[in-house]
Every structure is written in structure tokens, then in C-alpha cells.
A and B are shown apart, each in its own frame.
Chain A
Amino acid sequence: MSLNLPGLLALGVGYLSLLFLCALAVERGWLPIRLVRHPAVYTLALGVYASAWAVYGSLEFASHYGFGYLAYYLGVAGAFLLAPVLLVPIQRMTRTHQLSSLADLFAFRFRSRWVGTLLTLVSLLAVLPLLALQIQTMGHAIHRLSGVGSPSLLALGFSLLIALFAMLFGARHSHLSARHDSLLAAIALESLVKLVAMLALGAFALFGIFEGPADLQAWLDGAGHLDQTRIAQLDPAQWRTLLLLFFSAAFLMPHMFHITFAETLDRRTLLQSSWALPLFLLLMALPVPLILWATQRLGVHEVGAGAAYLAFGLSSSWWVDSLAFIAGLAAASGTMIIISLALSGMVLNHLVLVAHPPIAQPDLYRWLRWLRRGLIAAVIVGGWLFYRLVGVRHDLSTLGLASFVGMAQCLPGMLALLYWPGANRKGMVSGLAVGMAIWLAGLWVPLLTDYPAMVFLPPGLEILDGAPAWYSVTLVSLAANILTFILVSLATRTSAGERAAAEACSVDAVVRPMRLPLVATNGAEFKRHLARVLGEDVANREVERALNALGLSPLDGRPYALRRLRDRIQANLSGLMGPSVAQDIVDRCLPYRHNGPSATEDIHFVESRLEAYRSRLTGLARELDGLRRYHRRTLTRLPIGLCAFGEDGELLMWNDALAELSGIEGDSVIGAHRDTLPTPWNDLLGQILATPQGRLYKQPVSLARGQRYLTLHRAGLQGEQGEDGGNVILVEDHSEMKWLEDELVHAARLASIGQLATGVAHEIGNPITGISSLAQNLRYDTDDPVLLETADQIQNLTDRVSKIVGSLVGFAHGGRHVAGANFVSTSMASVTDEALHLIQLARSGEDIQYENRCPTAPAVFGDAQRLQQVMINLLGNARDASKPGDRVIVDANPEDRYLHLTITDEGHGIAPQVRDHLFEPFTTTKPAGEGTGLGLPLVYSIVAEHDGQIEIESPPAGQVSGTRIHLWLPLHQENGESTHEPDSDR
């Protein structure tokens, strides 16, 4: 005995203090969060599976069955290898519905609180031997090392310390599924400690006792061979049964379920552990045979239960014993902590809260927290009592296997939960009851009473007679369990609730929820309804939490959003109080309305689920999903607005074009009822839904983008049997077509006026010419100064009328010409004067001051008539944009080989988004009916004919408002040709 009792106690307490310190460091944020949440921490925490069995039990097993001890590691490695198809679906379910234990999962799937209660009782009965195993190893190890004191009392002391740790760091949150970083870090540290300790023991055996691998091999082939031949080889069938037991333990054992699914980080980390955990277990398993062979070489022979503690015989030095002790303590304490947490949660949700529902508890969160802490202590003390009364008489293999066989009774239920939607509650409960009865009689009761196992072997299985009890009990109980489960499930009816839950759980099914309206109409009403049961404070916090998680507003009244909110609250309450109590509360406080239209499938939700499941689809399903995506994309990206309504008036689709037209994003309205859509869409879509013809043409609608004219078409989506399926509506924006029609009418009217003006000018021209001639004659016929002055005035006035008529005729003929035919030297000063003259004839714009600052020279090379039209259009636009009293200035300067002409006004200017389209036909900033949208395109084409350039500057430099038009026209050269040469800069 190299270690005395005080030394051992100091070592144990010191180690547990290190755990406290680690948890405290994480809790206080002394360690970086990147380190705390590193996937390696999670993988090491999963190493909680390697309990005291891995340190001591494996040695005992290896001393009996050689490499048979590997089944303990390889079974769980196989389960993690199947993580993508086995563990990830369970993780998805537990995260979606906030299920924190196996009992939660079964109660959710089989829609019964009693199933949860049954699973909790099964887990308690099955896990007690495993808990006792951990405590036994601690007590025996201390007693073996120190040789003094009562092992059970020493074990009790350590158990209480472990319970204290679990209560402090494992019950921090009321929500069972909340992640406990400090606890995970401490468990990861425990795994690291036991791994390092085991590797150090293995290294000591290999290099301290043997002289390396070659020496070991030589010993095995020589002197040690006889020892090895004495070790029995496990029967292949028994080996496979062991593998199955440990495979199922990976996700059925409460502590493994807790770490894998309740504390998990994300899917990626779980998938990473599919190879990382087997690697950890490989390293844990490797030293076991080395230690065994080293003790055999040293001549240390232990039989029976004593073989578990062979590591203490490796050396008489204190540090080797300390390593063996710390490895066992780390393994046992980690497993005890997580088992106590997992079982306390199950007992709370499925025994305590079912018996005593927390109706209107004043401080629900605190009450739940303290209740849980009490249960943690009770579980650990229960484990110690089981060890004290029962476990002390059995070896580790007997205790451990009894536990694993017990939990394996849940395997048929778990597999059915994932892969058989036809399974029902009656089948599961019957199968489990039969399997448990066989297990209790065959393994559990013999543990208590020391009576031999009572196993009834059905005819045909006589071959099992004489086989180890654990083996025959496993085969018979599982076979009976599965057979009963299948037969009863097939023979009995499955309730609608169970079918829905089965779809939610099944790997191959997509949840197809129904669109039922809720009684509560927004988040505030949710709080009010829930407060009746949960109390105001808890109701507010739970609703706010769910709203935040979903990113919804408390005022969102969309039926789709409210259904998601209800689901989320139920999931969150499930994490707090288990699925049974959560479902009761939600059904009672947030009921559906059953007097509305009949429920139909929630297509939008189904689609969102399909999007999430894509990577799981293969073969035909994947091809069909590709087709679905193609059709979906076609509808979403259709360049015409499209929306679809369910028969109850709920909006199911709102495509991209409609989102752009309306300025309303699909996500904010999908799932809303038609009446609650923003104005004017509620009325407009209401009209088309009510119109029997299913068409509405060019409906004027005021949108954020201004007045639009929309045409709507509706089609019913009745099924082949005539059942109602809602409506699909196409929304076309016919505004431009409407404006084009208006402009065409306007242009036709203008053309008539132009023809009229030409005719009138012609008719007026003749009498005016006569009047002018008569006035001329009058000047020749008289010397009377009064008459001469009158004749002059008449002639001036007729000249003026002739000029007006000439201008009108010229303007009317302005659109018909041959480009370049009339190009001469043209003074822009006189062209501007002419244009101003005509502009000023119009009544509007009388208060506007025009200034023509154009110099008479140099002249440009162009068609005066066409350039006059350019100036009329540009000055007319300047006038229309100006306020009374504003100035319009025309200026010109020679610039290189061009005349740079500017027309500057002080009007309201042009918006940037319109400026780029001004030279496109029918683009106008004027009110409908006042502008044709043809003026500037005409200007552009005339300037282009002259090889000139036009640019718009709005507002002009140095002004706060207004517009400046820049024109560059080629200068006229003395030899009669334009100076124009292609100028790439402009």
C-alpha cells in the first residue's frame, strides 16, 4: 500500500477541486469562449461514455474474455459512425422540439405523458446498477489502496462532493436543454485526465515492465503464451450481442443522450465526433491489454472481481497507484454527474410535474431549479444506496451488463420512432413491458436477491440453456419486445395525434402541418392567455423569447406566424417542463379555432421544411425535388406579379415581381390573411377574388411609385375531384400601356390641331396679304400724316400676323424634312429670338423673364427651321418648369469647333432617376395630358442630325435648383462646310 488514507483523500478532493476550478473559470469567463466551445471539448465531453467500466471493468472483462472487452468501445464507435443517419435525425428532433431526454422523446412521439413516466421508471431501474458500479469502484479503489476505512462511507463522501458539483454547475438553467458550458468543460477535463492517466499506465506497462513492443510480442509468443491460452474466447454470437448492447447504449443511456443531444452544439460538431469519439475510445482501450499482460508478467494474479483493479498491481510506487486511482475517479465522477443530471430532468418532467403541475407558481424558474437540484442529490444518494445494499455483492461486469440490457429494451421503440411511422403507443408500451418483465426477472431481481436468473426459454431456443444469463436474457427479452411491439401496433388503431407526431419524428417523412387559425390573434394575446397558467412574468418572458427566436414582431397577426409562434412556445416549454406538460399548457391556453374553414396543409411550411431536408434526399425523391424547385423558381421569377391564396384566404405565395411592384417583401406577408394585407392590396385582391369573371382591367392603384394601372386575372386551383384548393392571381402592370394609349390620343389631337392651324394660317394669310397691300396702297394714295401713320401701323400689325402665321406653318411642317438638305449658316441668336417669340405667344409663362445672350456670330451650320424647333422645345420645357418671376437665360460661346449653347432655368429641376430616361420617348415629368414625352426625343434626334451633342445638368453648378441644357452645334466655316469631324470625346 503505497498511499495512505489521508493521501488518497487529499488526491481525490484535490482532483474534484480542480474540476470546480475549471467550471468556475468557464463560468466567470476566464477562459476564452473559442476554447470553451471548441469541437474537441464536445468530443472529450462525449468521452463520458468511458465510465469506470472503461478503466476497471474492461480489465476485468479482458482477463476473462481477451479482446472481447473491445465490444464496449466498438459498439459505441459503430453508433457514432452512423451519426448522419442515426444521431443527426435524433438531434434534429430534440432540437426542434426541445426534448432533453429519452423520456421526452418517447412522450412526444407516442403522444402520452404516461409513456414518458414509463420511460423514466425504466431508465431509473436500468441505470441504478451502472450508478452503483461507479460508486463501487471508488469505494473499492480507496479501500484497496489504503486498506483502512469503510469503502461505502468513503464512497458516500465522494458521491456527496460529486452531487454538490452537479447541483452547482449542472442546474444553472431552468431550461433542461440549455447548454452548460462550465459543465461540459469540466466533463471534457475529466475525459482528458482519464485518457492521459490510462495512456501513462499503458506506457509504463509497455516500457516499464516490458522493454517495448518487441519484448512484449516476444513474451506473448513465449513465456506469456500459456497465460493467454487460459483466457476464454467469447462466442461470436455473444460478442455480437455485446456489440448491439453497447451500440444502443450510445444513444439510449441517459448520460449519453444528455451529452449528445441536450448539450450539443451543432450538427457539424456531432458529425465530427463520428470519427473523433472512436479515436478517443481507441486510445482509452489500447492500454487495457498492456496493463493486463504487464501484471501477468509480474505474476500478479487476481481472480473474479479483483481483476478489475489489476492496475494497482503494476508497481508499488505511489504515482502509478495515483494514476490508476485518478483515472477511475475521473471516469466515475463524470458519469455520475451526467447520469444524475439526466435522470433528475426525467424524474422532474415525467414524475414530479405530471403529479404536481406547476399552475401559476409565483417564481416558476426558481422553483424548477431548486426542485432539480434536490432531484440530482436524490439520484446520487439513490445510486449509493443501491451500491450499499446490492452492488457491493456483485462484480463490475454483472452490474454493468444488467444496466445495458435494461436500457436496450428501449431500442425497438427508438428505431420505430425513427423509421416506422406505423408504430403506435399501445405496441411500444406492450413490447417494452414484456421486455422489461423478462429483464427484471432474468437480471434485476437476481441482483437484489442473489437468486438464479429466471429466464423462460421458449421452444426452439433450448440452445441458450447454459449460456450466460445476460446473453439469454438479452436475446429473449429483445425478441419478445420486438415481436409484441410489431403485433400490437399492427393490430390496434393509431390516433391522429400519434400519426402527426410520427411524421414529425420519422426520418423519411416531412411534417405536413394543417393550417388551423388560432384563437389568439397576436403576441400580446398569447401573453394574456399563457399568463393564466404560467403567471404574468413567465408568460411574458416565454413569449418574448419565442418572438425573438423567430424574429417576429409582437404585433404580427399573420396566422402562419402565429402558428410558428405557438410551436416555438410549446418547444420552449417542453425544454422547461417536458413535452407532456408543455403540450397540455399550450393546448389549454392557445387553442385553435374550430369554427373556421376546414384545415388544409400548410404548403409554405412544407416547402420550407423540404428546403432544409434537401441533402437527405436521394434517387427519385431528389429528382422530384429538383423538379419542384424548377417549378417554384419559374413562379417566383415570373416577370409578372403572381400570388396564391388558400381557400381560407391565407396568402401562400407572393412572387418577386409582385414584391417589386408592391414594394412589399414576400416574407412579411406570406401566411397573412387577405384582409390584413396592406392597403390597397387587401381591397384590390378582395375584388378580384369576388369577381365571378376572374378579370379586372387597368384598375387605377396608388402605390409608392405613383399612380399605376393594374390588370388582374384569377384562376381557381380546384383539385381533380372538384375540391377547393384556393386561387392563383396574376397581377400585370399596364401603366405604360395606358400612358401610351393616352399619349397616342393626345398626339392624334395635336396632329389635328396642327392641320387645323395650317389651314387657318393659309386662310388667314390671303386676307392679311390683301390688308397689307391695301395699307401699302393707302401710303401711296395719301399725304395725310395721320393716315400714313395708320397705314404704317396696319402694315406693322399685318407683318406681325404674317410672321405668326409663318411661324405656325413652319412649326407644323417641322417634322417632315430631308436631313442635311437645308443646312446653311445659321445664327443661333436669331433662331433663339424666333423661338422666344413663339414661346411668348403662349399665355402661360407670361411672368417669366427670357434673356437671349447669344452672340450673332459665329454662326452654326444647320437647318434653321429644325434648330428653331429644338429651341422651342427646350425653352418650352424651361418655361413649364419655372415659377413666375424666374429667369430663363440662353447663352452661347464658341468652344473649339463647336458653339456651346446653354439654356438655364431656375425651375424645380429634374430628379436623377428620371434624368437618365429623358431622351426616351414618352418619358415626361409633367402631369398626364400636359406633356407628350416626345419633345426631348425629337430634340435629341435633331441635334444628332446636326452632329451635335446634348447634355443635361440639374441642378446647374452654383445653383440650388433649376436645370441647364448644354448643346454643342458645329460652327459654320467660311468655305461653306461644317467644321464637324467625328469627335470621340463627346
Chain B
Amino acid sequence: MYVYRIMLFLVFGGYLFSPLLMSGWANPDAAWYRPFLIWGGLIALTLWLEQKRKLDERR
């Protein structure tokens, strides 16, 4: 159940800071694929949390 709180924290944190994603469009210092890398990292984190949640519920 504590994993759910991490997910909530993650979503609300992402909601607040997500406008930073848009700044990469016309920014020559940022790689064009940066938003997708961040997004992919978020998916990997979700996958990891999902495994944690399964273990937590099994206990």
C-alpha cells in the first residue's frame, strides 16, 4: 500500500514539473528526444513500482 503513495507522489510531482518538458522544442542545448527519454524512465519506474507492489501485497 505504501507503493501507492509513491505513485501518488510521482504523479503529482510530475504534474507540477511537467511544463519543463515543453522547453526542449526550440532549445538547441537539448536533444530532441529528451522528453521521450524522461517518459521512458517514468515507464521503467512504474514497472519497477508495480513489481514492488506485488511483493508488498504478497506479504
- The distance in angstroms between the C-alpha atoms of A82 and B47, with both chains bound, is 12
Q: What separation, in Å, do the CA atoms of A272 and B49 have in the docked complex?
A: 11
Expressed in whole angstroms, the Cα–Cα distance for A279 and B40 within the complex equals: 7
| Interface residue from B28, B35, B42, B57 paired with A278 (Cβ < 8 Å) | B42
Shortest Cβ gap from A42 to chain B (Å): 15
Say yes or no: A231 contacts B26, CB within 8 Å. yes
In the complex, A449 Cα to B28 Cα: how many Å?
Answer: 44
Closest to A225 in B: B28
B32 to A220, Cβ gap below 8 A? yes
A contact residues around B26 at 8 Å (CB): 66, 225, 228-229, 231, 233
Q: A945 at interface (Cβ–Cβ under 8 A)?
A: no
Any chain B CB within 8 A of the CB of A221?
yes
Q: Is the Cβ of B47 less than 8 Å from the Cβ of A275?
A: yes
A271 within 8 A of B: yes
CB nearest neighbor in A for B48: A275
How near does chain A come to B51, taking the closest CB pair, in angstroms? 10
Whether A81 and B46, one on each chain, are in contact in the complex, defined by CB atoms closer than 8 angstroms, is: yes
Query: CB within 8 Å of A: which of B6-36?
Result: 7-8, 10-11, 14-15, 18-19, 21-26, 28, 31-33, 35-36
B56 CB, min distance to chain A CBs, angstroms: 8
Complex contact A618–B39 (CB within 8 A) = no
| CB proximity to B under 8 Å, residues A50-83 | 65-68, 70, 74, 77-78, 81-82
Are the CB atoms of B19 and A236 closer together than 8 Å? yes
Q: Which residues of A contact B21 (CB under 8 A)?
A: 67, 70, 74
Contact with B along A584-601 (1 / 0, CB 8 A): 000000000000000000
Cβ-based interface call for A639 (8 A):
no
Complex Cα spacing A74 to B32, Å = 17
Is A243 a contact partner of B22 (Cβ separation < 8 A)? no
By a CB distance below 8 angstroms, the chain A residues around B31 are 217
- Minimum C-beta distance from B3 to chain A (A): 8
The 8 closest A-B pairs by CB, nearest first: A66-B25, A236-B19, A228-B26, A275-B46, A618-B1, A615-B57, A67-B22, A275-B47
| A239 closest partner in B (C-beta) | B19
Q: Is the CB of A616 within 8 A of B1?
A: yes
Residues of A within 8 A of B14 (CB): 74, 78
Q: Assess whether A216 is in contact with B32, with CB atoms less than 8 Å apart.
A: yes
Contacts of B46 in A (CB 8 A): 81, 274-275, 278
**A66-B25, A217-B32, A233-B23 known; A243 and B1 CB under 8 Å?**
no
Indicate which residue in A74, A213, A239 contacts B33 across the interface (CB closer than 8 Å).
A213
B8: contacting residue among A82, A217, A221, A278, CB under 8 A: A82
**In whole Å, how far is B12's beta carbon from the nearest beta carbon of chain A?**
9
A381: shortest Cβ distance to chain B, in Å?
Answer: 39
Give the docked Cα–Cα distance between A285 and B40 (Å).
12
Q: Is the CB of A234 closer than 8 A to any CB of chain B?
A: yes
| B5 CB, min distance to chain A CBs, angstroms | 8
Q: For the complex, what is the distance from the CA of A229 to the CA of B28, rounded to whole Å?
A: 10
Check B18 against A84 for contact (C-beta < 8 Å).
no
27 A-B pairs (CB sep. < 8 Å): A67-B22, A70-B22, A70-B35, A74-B14, A74-B18, A74-B21, A74-B39, A77-B42, A78-B11, A78-B14, A82-B8, A82-B11, A85-B8, A220-B32, A228-B26, A234-B22, A239-B18, A239-B19, A239-B22, A240-B18, A275-B43, A278-B39, A279-B43, A282-B39, A282-B40, A285-B36, A289-B32
Known: A78-B11, A81-B10, A285-B36. 5 other contacts (CB 8 A): A216-B32, A239-B19, A271-B50, A289-B32, A622-B1
Determine if A617 is an interface residue (Cβ-Cβ < 8 Å). yes
Q: In the complex, what residues of B have CB within 8 A of residue A216's CB?
A: 32
Interface residues in A223-279 by Cβ distance below 8 A to B read 225, 228-229, 231, 233-234, 236, 239-240, 243, 271-272, 274-275, 278-279
Specify the chain B residue showing the minimal Cβ separation from A235: B19
CA distance A77 to B26 in the complex (A): 25
B25 touches A84 (CB 8 A): no
Partner of B15, one of A217, A243, A616: A243
Please measure, in the bound complex, the distance between the C-alpha atom of A282 and the C-alpha atom of B2, giving whole angstroms: 27
Q: Which of A66, A67, A70 is packed against the most chain B CB atoms within 10 Å?
A: A67
Q: How far is the CA of A618 from the CA of B2 in the complex (A)?
A: 8
> Are B53 and A282 within 8 A (Cβ)?
no
> What distance in Å separates the Cβ of B9 from its nearest Cβ neighbour in chain A?
11
A445 contacts across to B, CB distance below 8 A: none
B11:A81 contact, CB within 8 angstroms: yes
Counting CB contacts under 8 A, is A286 at the interface? yes
B11: chain A residues at CB < 8 Å are: 78, 81-82
Q: Are A85 and B39 in contact (CB under 8 A)?
A: no
The residue on B at minimum CB distance from A236 is B19
Q: Provide the residues of chain B in CB contact with A274, threshold 8 Å.
A: 46, 50
**CB atoms of A282 and B32 under 8 A apart:** no
Task: With both chains docked as a complex, state the minimum distance between the C-beta of A868 and any C-beta of chain B, in angstroms.
Answer: 67
Q: Is the CB of A240 within 8 A of B4?
A: no
B46 to A, closest residue via Cβ: A275
A243 CB to nearest chain B CB (Å): 6
Please give, as numbers and ranges, the residues of chain A lying within 8 Å of B25 by CB-CB distance.
66-67, 228, 231, 233
Please report the C-alpha to C-alpha distance between residue A272 and residue B8 in the assembled complex, in whole angstroms.
17
* In the bound complex, CA of A236 to CA of B16 (Å): 9
Q: How far is the CA of A213 from the CA of B1 in the complex (A)?
A: 42
Contacts of A67 in B (CB 8 A): 21-22, 24-25, 35
- Give the distance in Å from the alpha carbon of A70 to the alpha carbon of B11 in the complex: 15
A85 and B4 within 8 A (CB): yes
B31 to chain A, nearest CB (A): 6
A125 to B48 alpha-carbon distance, docked (Å): 40
> Which A residue sits closest to B31, measured CB to CB?
A217
Q: How far is the CB of B29 from chain A (nearest CB, A)?
A: 9
A65 surroundings in chain B (CB, below 8 A): 22
Are A243 and B8 neighbours in the complex by a CB distance under 8 Å? Answer: no
Least Cβ–Cβ distance between A241 and chain B, in angstroms: 11
A216 to B19: give the CA distance in the assembly, Å. Answer: 24
Query: Which residue of chain B has the shortest Cβ distance to A213 in the bound complex?
Result: B33
- Chain B residues near A285 (CB, 8 Å)? 36
CB of B39 within 8 A of CB of A84, answer: no
Set of chain B residues within 8 Å of A293, measured between Cβ atoms = 32
Known interface pairs A82-B7, A282-B40; A221-B28 also in contact (CB < 8 Å) = yes
A283 to chain B, nearest CB (A): 10
B residues near A275, Cβ cutoff 8 Å: 43, 46-47, 50
By a CB distance below 8 angstroms, the chain A residues around B8 are 82, 85
- Complex contacts, B23 vs chain A, CB 8 Å: 233
Are B36's CB and A282's CB within 8 A? yes
Q: How far is the CA of A271 from the CA of B32 in the complex (A)?
A: 31
Would you give the shortest CB distance from B23 to chain A, in whole angstroms? Answer: 7
Do A84 and B53 touch (CB < 8 A)?
yes
Rounded to whole Å, the gap between the CB of B19 and the closest CB of chain A is: 4
Of chain A, the residue at the smallest CB distance from B34 is A67
**Distance in Å: Cβ of A672 to nearest Cβ of chain B:** 34
- Contact call B32/A84, Cβ cutoff below 8 A: no
A78 and B1 contact, CB distance less than 8 A? no
The docked-state distance in angstroms from the alpha carbon of A85 to that of B8 is 8
A543 to B15, CA, bound (A): 48
- Write out the residue numbers on chain A whose beta carbons fall within 8 Å of the beta carbon of B33: 213
Are B19 and A240 closer than 8 Å at their CB atoms?
Answer: yes
Of B11, B14, B53, most buried by chain A (CB within 10 Å of CB) is: B11
The smallest beta-carbon distance between B2 and chain A, in angstroms, is 7
Contact call A85/B50, Cβ cutoff below 8 A: no
Closest to A618 in B: B1
Contact of B28 with A220 in the complex, beta carbons under 8 Å: yes
